[in-house]
Amino acid sequence: NAGVTQTPKFQVLKTGQSMTLQCAQDMNHNSMYWYRQDPGMGLRLIYYSASEGTTDKGEVPNGYNVSRLNKREFSLRLESAAPSQTSVYFCASSEWKGNQPQHFGDGTRLSIL
């Protein structure tokens, strides 16, 4: 039982390049989330998908786009990477939004030069 799987685990990009981070969950969860974690700042919500077919902005959506490909998969795209997007990105899922524990992947460490 893999839980939440993120690919890739590490990536280095040059400023202006594009990149898609992949996330898949095998727990039949309805809701999925993308966060970024920066030193000393905790996790900040980028986008979330309450259920298949819906996506909504979180706290820091600028510079990102998302696609809820199906119930299992939720991808995050950086169209034109900037150094300020250097971070660790976490995908999470929960059975439903609200009042539910979230299950996290192990993150993608992204550096933008």
Contacts with another protein by CB under 8 A lie at 4, 33, 35, 40-45, 48, 58-59, 90, 92, 97-107
Question: What phi, psi does 84 have (nearest 5°)?
Answer: -70, -10
Considering beta carbons, is residue 85 or 105 the nearer one to another protein? 105
CB 42, min distance to another protein, A: 4
Tell the smallest beta-carbon distance from residue 36 to another protein (Å).
11
Give the burial class of 98: count Cβ atoms within 10 A of its Cβ; 0-12 exposed, 13-18 middle, 19 or more buried: exposed
Work out how close the CB of 87 gets to another protein at its nearest, in angstroms, rounded to a whole number. 14
The full 3-state SS of 2-55, as one line of letters, equals CCEEEECCEEEECCCCCEEEEEEECCCCCEEEEEEECCCCCEEEEEEECCCCCC
Query: Based on CB atoms, which residue is closest to another protein, 3 or 16?
Result: 3
CB of 67 to another protein, least distance (A): 20
Q: Rounded distance, CA 52 to CA 55, Å?
A: 8
Q: Name the residue nearer to another protein (CB basis): 48 or 64.
A: 48
Question: 85 or 89, CB closer to another protein?
Answer: 89
